[in-house]
């Protein structure tokens, strides 16, 4: 494990501990969410500026820094992934993510995270139940090219194009 990986892991854990402390104070869920986003963002950006002053930070909660486009190293942070869940008592499906991108070929993205609870896995469908695919009956129609005017199904306005069909288009 190199120094960058250790730093990312340490910062994610320290930000997560701060968030747990904030959450333990209770309070209005909306205020807890907003304060959590701000607390973690400010901590991570200040720590990275101090520990890696030559690097650029891209945070979900901060303004985009155009310098990231030409930077050699960019720290990508999500100070509080699962903000809504963080504000709900008893929820553990939130995390802090800290990653490093380097322009040099062969370098991998480091993405340690601090899970909000005992399991870093979010139950799929807890927020939104998965939708079943629609029933399909009969043969699938041949696809229409996704360009306006190339198939009647894609036309949005009446005109001479509505009468034309491309070969193979199943829309009628």
Q: List, in sequence order, every residue forming a beta bridge with 157; answer none if it has no partner.
A: none
- CATH number of the domain at 22, please: 3.30.540.10
Whether residue 135 is contained in a domain is answered as no
The verdict on 96 and 153 lying in the same domain is: no
The verdict on 81 and 153 lying in the same domain is: no
Range of the domain at 155: 142-172
Residue ranges of the alpha helices (H) in the chain?
A: 3-24, 29-51, 83-86
Residues in the chain: 172
Whether residue 40 is contained in a domain is answered as yes
Query: Among 67, 99, 64, which Cα is nearest to 81's?
Result: 99
Give the long-range contacts of residues 61-70, CB within 8 A, separation 24 or more: 61/37
Query: Among 34, 24, 15, which Cα is nearest to 89's?
Result: 24
Sequential pLDDT tens for the chain (172 residues): 689 989 999 999 999 999 999 999 878 989 999 999 999 999 999 999 999 999 999 998 988 888 888 899 999 999 999 999 999 888 888 999 999 888 876 665 566 666 665 444 434 334 444 454 555 444 544 444 444 444 444 444 444 444 444 455 554 4
Whether residue 53 is contained in a domain is answered as yes
Whether residue 124 is contained in a domain is answered as no
Whether residue 152 is contained in a domain is answered as yes
The answer to whether 29 and 4 are in contact (CB under 8 A) is: no
Whether residue 165 is contained in a domain is answered as yes
């Amino acid at each position: 494990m190199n120094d960058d990986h250790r730093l990312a892991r340490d910062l994610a854990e320290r930000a997560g501990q701060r968030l747990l402390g904030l959450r333990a104070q209770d309070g209005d869920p909306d205020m807890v969410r907003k304060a959590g986003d701000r607390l973690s963002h400010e901590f991570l950006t200040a720590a990275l500026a101090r520990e890696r002053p030559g690097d650029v930070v891209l945070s979900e909660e901060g303004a985009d820094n155009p310098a990231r486009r030409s930077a050699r190293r960019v720290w990508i942070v999500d100070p509080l992934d699962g903000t809504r869940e963080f504000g709900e008592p008893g929820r553990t499906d939130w995390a802090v993510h800290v990653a490093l991108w380097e322009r040099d070929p062969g370098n991998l993205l480091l993405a340690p995270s601090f899970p909000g609870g005992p399991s870093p896995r979010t139950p799929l469908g807890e927020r939104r139940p998965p939708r079943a695919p629609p029933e399909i009956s009969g043969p699938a129609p041949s696809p229409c090219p996704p360009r306006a005017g190339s198939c009647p199904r894609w036309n949005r306005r009446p005109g001479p194009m509505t009468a034309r069909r491309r070969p193979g288009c199943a829309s009628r």
